Amino acid sequence: MPQLLPLSRAARLVGISRGALQKRIQDNELQTFEGAVRVSDLLRVFPDVKLQDDSAVERARQIREQAIPKTEDDAALPAPEVLAHRLSSVSGELTSARHELAHYSTLVHALRAQLVKLDDGRLADTVAWLDTQLGALPNVPARKAELMAKDTFLRLIAAHVQFIPSGHDFLVEGNETILNAALRAGLLPHYGCTSGSCGSCKARVVSGQVLKVHDHSYEISRTEQNLGYILMCANTAVTELVLEVNEARKHNDIAVQKIRAEVRHAVPADDELYVLQVATPPDQRLRFFAGQSVRLQLADGSATTLPLASCPCDGQHLEFHVPRHDGDGFADALFQGHLGAGNGIDIEGPWGDFILPEDTHAPLVFLAHDEGFAPIKALIESAVASDQAESFLLIWSVSPGRRHYMDNRCRAWADALDNFRYQPVNDPAALQQNLNIALPDNAILFAAGPSEWLDALAGTVANTQFHQLTTD
Ligand code: FES
């Protein structure tokens, strides 16, 4: 049985977020060994944890599902074939553990026989002690046994995957592909079509076993097959997996893409703003970091640049919040009812470095003014998906006459996540006061709004990690 647990699995087992577990590690309550924690340490730090209680993880999962539409592959249980492979792998481990035990047992008894043979009177106590130890059955503490049983069950329904060289890790659940699971976890591996035709998601299996769950037209050469290359969009993980993967980790790791997309919905949120839902072709999804922007152009040439308001974990269904702007042909088309479901739209991008830092476990503070909420929403959805931040604080201010047009969404985050606080603000002065009181130590700040509002904020905020995006 493994005595070390990868962080993703350890967090799932004790029913807390990965960010909360990282916090315990930062506070030196827990030691890590190459991204894993010891079972005994986990039980020491969480002595009162209810091992059957998954409610916190379940609530976080609901939030993620709001950001990422479900597919048929996301069924809760893996296919019988995958389960059979995992069962066989666990049985294999049990068999080798039994062999090892038998080997050590034989060895100890042989050693005892040697001691008895050599005994000149001085070894009698040692032999007697050995007999006592051999007669006593090791007593596995009940909670440790319970944790290990739960871990074995978790390994049957979800496989742990680690990407190298980044060290990022996540769980593959149900029948989902490795690519989908990675996107759900807030990662950005290289990919294109998601349907096995472009070859962009090719990765090398360093250790572990995969199973093809979708056919693919892209042919992996014999040489590459021998080296262990697979397509992440066509395979699921059967066992613990280590994959060598090409991941985007900085904003300029993602190339500019041009995609012909289609408007799905255009709904007014208030008198001054439309929420625009756009879908790309299924085999041509947009790769982007949360917080980045794209250029949108209509057939008549009118164009605008807007931040994405949706999570990069779904590169097909994109959301934009379009404010009314006099003289802006794109916004005019929307507000005058000339742009709606079925209309084509050209997308070009992404651009911008208003993105989450890689692998941060710090408290995240999000400040939005009016439609500055759009990129903030994308950042929050992405941060929740990656499950790394210690805590979230969202303060959203609106101009006189405007409203918090996604107030319900923000309240749902606060209800679902223990470490999420939401403060809607109507008076910009109140926002400054909230900031003075509410900022956690070492927080990383993200603010999106008009330049004048940002300038006023900059005078108040002393944090060195203060990322800003202007919306005018
Ligand atoms: S993303 Fe195109 S082959 Fe996997």
pLDDT for 17 beyond 90: no
For the record, the structure tokens of 249 come out as 């980790």
Pocket test for ligand 1, best of 73, 197, 217, 286 (most atoms within 8 A of CB): 197
pLDDT digits 0-9 by tens, 393-427: 999 999 988 999 999 999 999 988 888 999 999 87
Pocket test for ligand 1, best of 176, 180, 183, 200 (most atoms within 8 A of CB): 200
Q: For the chain, what are the domain ranges?
A: 1-64, 68-247, 252-351, 364-470
pLDDT digits 0-9 by tens, 107-124: 998 988 888 887 677 788
Task: Give the Å distance between the CA of 87 and the centre of ligand 1.
Answer: 29
Percent of the chain clearing pLDDT 90 (strictly above): 47
Task: Give the Å distance between the CA of 198 and the centre of ligand 1.
Answer: 5
Task: Give the Å distance between the CA of 65 and the centre of ligand 1.
Answer: 23
- Ligand 1 binding pocket (C-beta < 6 A) is 191-194, 196-201, 218, 231, 233
Task: Give the Å distance between the CA of 234 and the centre of ligand 1.
Answer: 8
Q: Higher pLDDT residue, 382 or 417? A: 382
Task: Give the Å distance between the CA of 232 and the centre of ligand 1.
Answer: 7
Pocket test for ligand 1, best of 233, 235, 243 (most atoms within 8 A of CB): 233
pLDDT interval class at 23 (50, 70, 90): confident
> Residue with the nearest Cα to atom 1 of ligand 1?
194
pLDDT digits 0-9 by tens, 79-105: 788 888 888 877 888 888 888 888 998
- Work out whether the CA dihedral 372, 375, 378, 384 comes out positive or negative: negative
Which atom of ligand 1 approaches the CA of 198 most closely?
2
Which atom of ligand 1 approaches the CA of 194 most closely?
1
pLDDT for 56 beyond 60: no
Which atom of ligand 1 approaches the CA of 234 most closely?
4
pLDDT at 175: 80
Span 272-276, average pLDDT: 96
Q: Higher pLDDT residue, 1 or 386? A: 386
Most confident of 38-42, 128-132, 332-336, 417-421: 332-336
pLDDT interval class at 263 (50, 70, 90): very high
Which atom of ligand 1 approaches the CA of 199 most closely?
3
pLDDT for 365 beyond 80: yes
Per-residue burial over 61-78, b if 16 or more Cβ lie within 10 Å, else e, is: eebbeebbeeeebbeeeb
pLDDT at 1: 46
pLDDT for 349 beyond 50: yes
Pocket test for ligand 1, best of 191, 229, 280 (most atoms within 8 A of CB): 191
pLDDT at 317: 95
Most confident of 258-272, 356-370, 433-447: 258-272
Class in CATH terms, 1-64: mainly alpha
Which atom of ligand 1 approaches the CA of 218 most closely?
3
Class in CATH terms, 252-351: mainly beta
What fold, for 68-247?
Ubiquitin-like (UB roll) (3.10.20)
Mean pLDDT of the chain: 86
Q: How far is CA 305 from CA 21, 229, 346, 350, in A?
A: 39, 38, 11, 10
Task: Give the Å distance between the CA of 181 and the centre of ligand 1.
Answer: 14
CB 295 within 8 A of CB 303: yes
CB 255 within 8 A of CB 348: no
pLDDT for 190 beyond 60: yes
Question: What one-letter code names the amino acid at 422?
Answer: Y
pLDDT at 88: 82
Cα separation of 203 and 194, whole Å?
14
For the record, the structure tokens of 54 come out as 């998954």
Task: Give the Å distance between the CA of 314 and the centre of ligand 1.
Answer: 15
pLDDT at 79: 78
pLDDT interval class at 28 (50, 70, 90): confident
Task: Give the Å distance between the CA of 72 and the centre of ligand 1.
Answer: 18
Task: Give the Å distance between the CA of 218 and the centre of ligand 1.
Answer: 8
What fold, for 364-470?
Rossmann fold (3.40.50)
For the record, the structure tokens of 137 come out as 């059955």
